[in-house]
Structure 1
Amino acid sequence: MSAPARSFPLALDALADWRADAACREIDVEVFFAIDEAAQREAIAVCETCPVRQECLEHAVANREQYGVWGGLREQDRKRLVRARRRDAA
């Protein structure tokens, strides 16, 4: 018998309520932290269907998540987004 897949834990605070509606809530969390391109594309495909994609992305940016796919963006994509936002704000 195999072990159950780990999923993103649901936070109890009101700021994280978006996680309850996340498309990834029942998917193995390792998909979102994989280093191979195919798994990353799989994670991004899940994000593309997610009703709380923007909230997830903003959480990752605000909390400076360094690893994984969040809101449909990989680490390097989020870094580019943050740089662009800083440039636009200046």
Structure 2
Amino acid sequence: MVLRLRIPSIDWAGRGARCVRHARPSEKEDPWFDTSQYDEVLGVCNGSDIYEGPCPVRDYCLRFACVNNESAGVWGGMLPHDRHKLRQEAKADGIPLKEVEWEWHPPTEPDAPEEEILAAAADEEDDQP
């Protein structure tokens, strides 16, 4: 994540974000950043047997994460490696991150371990203004 947000956070609870009501992080665990719980929290974001349809703020959440380089955890219903790929595509197209129309797609299996993806995202952050 960047030290200074490129786009602002919103009142997630006030806008109906499911993550706020579903699973609260604790000192011992945060389900949104625990790879063993990704399937469950992806269901919260993207719809599941419990939730019909996607979270009402999923699109903004994805934009927030991509523009602000949230490199870990589930954001906008996508996994770190999928968001990293979106950022790489935008960077290759030369589009400023704030202007990208971030498009959600279903989660995929990572091509590399999460640690490598996080390291690549950190390197990428160094290249951004």
Contact 2:32 2:73 in 1 (8 A): yes
Output the amino acid matched with 1:53. R
Map 1:8-87 → 2, pairs under 5 A: 15-17=9-11, 19-20=12-13, 21-28=16-23, 29=25, 30-36=30-36, 39-48=37-46, 49-87=54-92
The normalised TM-score by structure 2 is 0.51
Counterpart of 1:54 in 2: which secondary structure?
A: helix
Deviations 1:52-71 (A, max 9, x none): 10100111112211210000
Output the CA distance in 2 between the equivalents of 1:15 and 1:79: 20
1:4 aligned residue: none
AA matched with 2:38: Q
Q: Which runs of 4+ in 1 moved over 6 A?
A: none
Query: Counting helix residues as a fraction of each chain, which structure ranks higher?
Result: 1
Per the alignment, residue 115 of structure 2 pairs with none
The 2-side partners of 1:58 and 1:42 are apart by: 21
Does structure 1 conserve the Cα–Cα contact (< 8 Å) formed by 2:9 and 2:64?
no
Identity of aligned residues (%): 35
Distance 1:66 1:26, change over 3 A: same
**Size of the alignment, in residue pairs?**
74
